[in-house]
Amino acid sequence: MTSALDGALKSAQAFVRKVHPEAAASALAGSIARGRGTRTSDLDIVVYYDDRPASFAETLRHDGWLVESFVYGPEGIDEWFALEAKQRRPVALDMWAGGIPLVDNVATALLQARAQEVMAAGPEPIGATQQADLRYGLTAAIDDLQGRPDPGEEFAIIADGYKRAGELLLFANHSWLGSGKWLVRRLGNLQDPTAKRLVRWAESVPRSSEELCRIAHEVLESVGGPLQEGHTRGSREVG
């Protein structure tokens, strides 16, 4: 364990003792726990009470750290785990599954094992309609980029196109979704060569919109090809 992580763990443990002394379980999660912290990283701490209703997040300052605590009770943890699994976008699940226990007890071990089981199983596959909508949106983004929009619009289109391409690849690889930096991290965990190219593109400076279009075309070909003509959204039925 590095000295930086050791210091963060001690601060996190002290925070839980001070603010949540009666909690049944807790863990340090996020970038710090995964060894990917930066100079602006905060402490992400998940907390569980087995004897009270709770479902809230709170930002506090402790020992020089900004602390984001995510607090759950029995019903709250069930609701969040179920919602995240349904949306295929784990946050609480991932924090509990990959967090470092701050309290060495049965409650923490059981919660971690429960979250790890869900994460290991992966998300439910998406339906044909959702996949078609993503293909259509990515195809439209590529067309917009190839039309050479003005720089401001190009920035927005690139961000949308990258997200759609990344999500299509994650779905195709039976992997969980992620937002922001976690989208890039989840893509980086895949063995899919196109996903690796997307990550390298994100890391490159300057970023070429032409190269993103080429990668996006590869993504589309892997899931059925571009889609525009004939795609219907919504229902034709009336009443």
Every domain of the chain and the residues it spans = 3-121, 128-222
CATH T-level assignment (fold) for domain 3-121: Beta Polymerase; domain 2 (3.30.460)
- What pLDDT, on a 0 to 100 scale, did the predictor assign at position 1? 56
- What pLDDT, on a 0 to 100 scale, did the predictor assign at position 239? 57
Within 10 Å of residue 36's Cβ, how many Cβ atoms? 11
For 188-234, write each residue's pLDDT tens digit: 999 999 999 999 999 999 999 999 999 999 999 999 999 999 888 87
Type of residue at 98? G
Q: Say what angle helices 209-222 and 193-203 make with each other, to 10 degrees.
A: 160
Within 10 Å of residue 204's Cβ, how many Cβ atoms? 10
Report, as ranges of residue numbers, the positions in the chain whose pLDDT lies below 70. Answer: 1-2, 236, 238-239
Q: Give the closest residue to 182 by CA, choosing from 29, 60, 43, 50.
A: 29
- What pLDDT, on a 0 to 100 scale, did the predictor assign at position 4? 76
For 37-54, write each residue's pLDDT tens digit: 888 889 999 999 999 998
Distance CA 93, CA 80 (A): 8
Distance CA 239, CA 228 (A): 27
Residue 217: exposed, middle, or buried by beta-carbon count in 10 A (0-12, 13-18, 19+)? middle
